Homo-oligomer: A and B are copies of this chain.
Amino acid sequence: MKDTDTTADNGAYLTREALMSLSRRVLEHQGFSAEQARALGETLVAAQMDASHSHGLYRLLGIVQTLRQGAAVADAVPEVEDVAAGVVRVDAGGGFSPLAFELGLPLLVGKARDAGVALMAINHCVHSTALWVELERLTEQGLVAIVCNPTQAYMAPHGGSRPLLGTNPLAFGWPRPGREPLVFDFATSAIARGDIELHRREGKPIPEGWGVDRDGAPCTDPEEVLDHGAMLPFGQHKGSALALMVELIAGPMIGDLLSVESSEHDAGRAGLPYHGELIIAIDPARTAGATSEAHMDRAERLFDELLGQGARLPAQRRYRERALSESRGAWVPQALLDDIEALLA
């Protein structure tokens, strides 16, 4: 494999170009249009460069599985609609979200600059991606952004006992001139679904608070939680309320599915979630007024004081990994490379 350092044991360090080439080859070989493959590949590679393995090239396996189930449109051409001074709608046409996001982005940015605030509804998309990749496309334009989406009915509401809400990620980005943006991106569940799956694979019990069994009782068996019980929200009733908010504003409010409806659509195939996505973009040059740069500088004081007392800013670990990946390539385990190669057969 080109651009691959094969001296590492049980894996390889791949350059950004090698990751991109591999992703595109797999996706095009599996039937994705060139544009879909490029947009999707860029998102996966961005995650891999940040050492976010669960959102990186590992996702190729689930993407191909979802496609083979007929649950995604490989050559979808997203349609962008100018709805109102503050609203862009993109119909992803059953394709994955990255190309839909990319095509709607210029209109969203323009509206945010003109109106001060604008939102983009992406409808009918199969989701596969890390939201922070999209956030950075907005923060690099100097915009503040919030992104969220439902998933599937994996989680019981606080005080409930059965799967109803999604793990509903909520992400926020804040531009920092001359630096990487402040970005957070977290599931509103106590823990990501992938972490419970990891415990199942390793045969380990999960901590209390992550899930309940089929009767709604606290449960530390990952298999029972994933297959018969339900995950739990983070932060008790507050996290549960946030998950509910995401269901509503990135579901019915934009004319798209609830997590429970996405699960019905999936019909037990265990494919990637099919749903909508909401992006809100705000231009601080409009909302903070004429002296917006001075106001944004005051935020830096907050970050300095936060770091000064030993707390961490979200995303700093990812930025360190990114810098490492740029210099020596991004690590990909050999087992994953083997699985990916098999998709090229």
A contact residues vs B (CB 8 Å cutoff):
83-87, 89, 114-119, 121, 144, 156-162, 164, 172, 174, 182, 184, 186, 188, 216, 234-242, 244-245, 247-249, 251-255, 258, 260-261, 280, 282, 284, 286-289, 291-292, 295-296, 298-299, 301-302, 305-306, 309-312, 314
CB of B164 within 8 A of CB of A258, answer no
CB of A84 within 8 A of CB of B295, answer no
The docked-state distance in angstroms from the alpha carbon of A129 to that of B315 is 34
How many copies of this kind of chain does the complex include? 2
Q: Which of these, B161, B245, B302, contacts A247 with CB under 8 Å?
A: B302
Closest residue of chain B to A291 (Cβ to Cβ) is B255
CB of B161 within 8 A of CB of A255, answer no
Of the A-B pairs whose beta carbons lie under 8 Å apart in the complex, a sample of 14, sorted by A's number, is: A83-B289, A84-B115, A87-B117, A115-B115, A119-B287, A144-B248, A144-B249, A164-B306, A184-B241, A184-B244, A235-B236, A252-B295, A255-B292, A261-B298
Q: Which of these, B114, B174, B296, B298, contacts A84 with CB under 8 Å?
A: B114
CB of A238 within 8 A of CB of B241, answer no
Report the minimal beta-carbon distance from A187 to chain B, rounded to whole angstroms.
9
Q: Which of these, B114, B182, B255, contacts A288 with CB under 8 Å?
A: B255
Q: A158-B311, A252-B298, A289-B255 given as contacts; is B117 within 8 A of A305 (CB)?
A: no
Q: Which residues of B contact A253 (CB under 8 A)?
A: 144, 282, 284, 287-288, 295
CB of A260 within 8 A of CB of B302, answer yes
Report the minimal beta-carbon distance from A304 to chain B, rounded to whole angstroms.
11
Q: Which of these, B87, B260, B261, B287, contacts A255 with CB under 8 Å?
A: B287
The docked-state distance in angstroms from the alpha carbon of A87 to that of B285 is 11
CB of B309 within 8 A of CB of A156, answer yes
Report the minimal beta-carbon distance from A125 to chain B, rounded to whole angstroms.
16
CB of A309 within 8 A of CB of B157, answer yes
Q: Which residues of B contact A182 (CB under 8 A)?
A: 244, 248
Closest residue of chain B to A259 (Cβ to Cβ) is B302
CB of B241 within 8 A of CB of A186, answer yes
The docked-state distance in angstroms from the alpha carbon of A157 to that of B186 is 17
Report the minimal beta-carbon distance from A287 to chain B, rounded to whole angstroms.
5
Report the minimal beta-carbon distance from A179 to chain B, rounded to whole angstroms.
15
Listed from nearest, the 6 A-B pairs whose CB atoms lie closest are A235-B235, A86-B115, A87-B116, A160-B311, A85-B115, A84-B116
